[in-house]
Amino acid sequence: MKLLTDSANVPDEVIIRNLSDGPDYRPDWRFRTVQKYLLQARSTDSFQDSIDAILEQEPDQLVRQLLLFHADRRSEIADRIEYALRCVRNEAETRIAAFIKAMIIAGRSSQQIAKTIGTNSKNISAFEKIFFDVRRYRDNRTWINAICSPRLDRTTPASRHWEKRLMSIAFNRGWPGLHDFFSKPSSKIGHLDLDRLIRGLVARAADFVNELEMEGIPPSDRDLQMLVAAVRAMKSPGIATSLGDLAYPDPEQEAKLQGIQKLASAYPVGTRRRLAEAFRIIGFALERQAKQKSDQSSA
């Protein structure tokens, strides 16, 4: 099973460098380009001359540096490239590559990622550019979703499944969801606290429903059974859901509401109440004034 992030048949592949050029843009396009260049150069009689010719034409700085590194010539960022290559070579054991990818999806900066992983931001930046160039397309949610939810078959190694899960969490829950992995449990005795447990299980249940849709599984009587079970389960802790709550939110309206909430959260509750009261009085006065004007004009 080929993944969008896999380095599959490169020799005849047309490598796209921007998402706007084609939907089959791959995040590791730089690595693929270098593979193609190296194969081209190795197929000629003079390898180093071919490399020189390619370097003259290639505009991307990182592709040039990676090519120099593989051609055993002096690369200015050899240490960073080595770090990135080691991340991928040892991904089954260390899983650092998956962590970095998930944190990029969650919108963390290279400095923040470097702090979590324990390296410098330049190494992270090199990894990102060589193997996971998606940051500039983070707003293209449909494409990012496709990257985070590749179809994996049963022969796919566990590290790939784990990477998919981690990226899916990052996509659905963002950094707060991902942070639960890295943060230590808040309970004093060292076990997961109850809130965290319930939060995690509810989120996984939501992921399960999302997966059903993503996998294209048609509706069945099992959905009804699950709905009945969910309604029963919600009754005991007293979670009430009205039909109004179940209406799908308008994405644009939701974004606007989130903006308002963000703005309001900057003020303390007391200030917000006073502001609301002031706006209510001003609004009432404006309405009265408008009414008076309309009465005068009609008279």
Partner 1 sequence: MHAFLPEEAAALLFGRVETAKRITKAVSLRQRMMETGSYSLPVPQRQRSGPPPMRPVRALSRLNRSTVFPPLVVPKIECSELSLTKIINFVRQRRAAGAPSHCLLDLLSITSGFSVATCAELLVAEKIIEEPLDPIDIAATCAARLFWTLYAEGRALYSEMVAEGNVPGATSDLAFFDRRGLEALLPGVILPDHCRRREFITNYLAESDPPCVDLYSASGLPLVRHPFISTLNPLLFGHPSKSEIKSPQLTL
Residue 9 touching partner 1 (CB under 8 A) = yes
Among 3, 4, 7, 196, binds partner 1 (CB under 8 A): 7
Choose one: 36-44, 121-129, 207-215, 217-225; the region binding partner 1 (CB under 8 A). 36-44
C-alpha to C-alpha distances, 58 to 11, 73, 153, 203, nearest whole angstrom: 18, 16, 37, 45
Token readout for 51 is 């490399």
Q: Which is nearer to partner 1, 70 or 199 (CB)?
A: 70
Contact between 127 and 87 (Cβ < 8 Å): yes
Site string for partner 1, 111-150 (x = CB under 8 A): ----------------------------------------
**Region 149-178 residues binding partner 1, contact defined as CB under 8 A:** 154-155, 157-159
Strands (DSSP E) found in 142-199? none
Residue 71 touching partner 1 (CB under 8 A) = yes
Integer Cα distance of 147 and 142 in angstroms: 9
Residue 92 touching partner 1 (CB under 8 A) = yes
Residue 42 touching partner 1 (CB under 8 A) = yes
Contacts of 28 (CB under 8 A, 6+ apart): 5, 7, 130, 131, 132, 133
Residue 148's nearest CA partner among 117, 114, 113, 174 is 174
Site string for partner 1, 217-256 (x = CB under 8 A): ----------------------------------------
Integer Cα distance of 43 and 66 in angstroms: 19
Integer Cα distance of 251 and 70 in angstroms: 47
Token readout for 145 is 């979703």
Q: Which is nearer to partner 1, 70 or 138 (CB)?
A: 70
Residue 226's nearest CA partner among 211, 214, 238 is 211
Among 88, 144, 152, 203, binds partner 1 (CB under 8 A): 88
Among 22, 23, 39, 187, binds partner 1 (CB under 8 A): 39
Among 60, 82, 180, 207, binds partner 1 (CB under 8 A): 82
Among 25, 29, 69, 171, binds partner 1 (CB under 8 A): 69
Residue 191 touching partner 1 (CB under 8 A) = no
